[in-house]
A and B are shown apart, each in its own frame.
Chain A
Amino acid sequence: QQQVKQSPQSLIVQKGGISIINCAYENTAFDYFPWYQQFPGKGPALLIAIRPDVSEKKEGRFTISFNKSAKQFSLHIMDSQPGDSATYFCAASKADKLIFGTGTRLQVFP
């Protein structure tokens, strides 16, 4: 049973474009929603995170949009760069245990 559903599985974006990755969750007890970025040969690293008391969080070119009523959240990467090419995982948690989505492989072409 997949508690966090992530789409799309892969995404190709041109340099300068906007990358959008979506996630949906089922458990309304989740109270922390991070995004992790993973480069080939490396472990995932925390990129940005949000709590459900706010609808948006922005850090540089990365923005999380959160819709509590729809139980959905998304990552927006503005002005996408080739260096953003990586696999992105959304996650949700209650307490210290994270449940991850299935991942999105993003490729940004020059």
Chain B
Amino acid sequence: DVKVTQSSRYLVKRTGEKVFLECVQDMDHENMFWYRQDPGLGLRLIYFSYDVKMKEKGDIPEGYSVSREKKERFSLILESASTNQTSMYLCASSLAGTRSLFFGSGTQLSVL
């Protein structure tokens, strides 16, 4: 089974802090994605990556950056956390050329 592991289930940070959310997948998938999930808004794509050291902006990239130094690891970075970034963050991966996403269990981030 594909496993997508997100480093923290719950995270509490203060406004202005730099926040790192880590995601690791174990099935050699080329594609990796970061979504945020908010009630009534569904899942919105923040950033995605089709290969190592490659990144593309999704629909809501403002306030975020990403890093993909190794194929299995995709990090989401909040340079200066703000309260409107309080959300559930979901990482996903997929094989190149397929459309089936495998999601991690999510990180619930609270910014106070």
Contact = CB atoms under 8 A, between A and B. Distances in A.
A97 B48 CA distance: 8
Contacts, number: 55
B86 interface: no
A34 B106 CA distance: 20
A32 B99 contact: yes
Nearest to B104: A43
A46 B2 CA distance: 13
Contact of B105 (A43, A93, A97, A99): A43
Contacts of B109: none
A42 B103 CA distance: 9
Interface in A37-53: 41-46, 49
Interface string B78-96: 0000000000001010101
A12 interface: no
Nearest to A44: B103
B99 A96 contact: yes
Interface string A83-110: 0000001000100111111110000000
Nearest to A104: B42
27 contacts: A32-B99, A36-B101, A41-B105, A43-B4, A43-B92, A43-B104, A43-B105, A44-B43, A44-B90, A45-B103, A46-B100, A49-B99, A49-B100, A89-B42, A93-B99, A96-B94, A96-B96, A96-B97, A96-B98, A96-B99, A97-B33, A98-B45, A99-B45, A99-B59, A102-B40, A103-B42, A103-B43
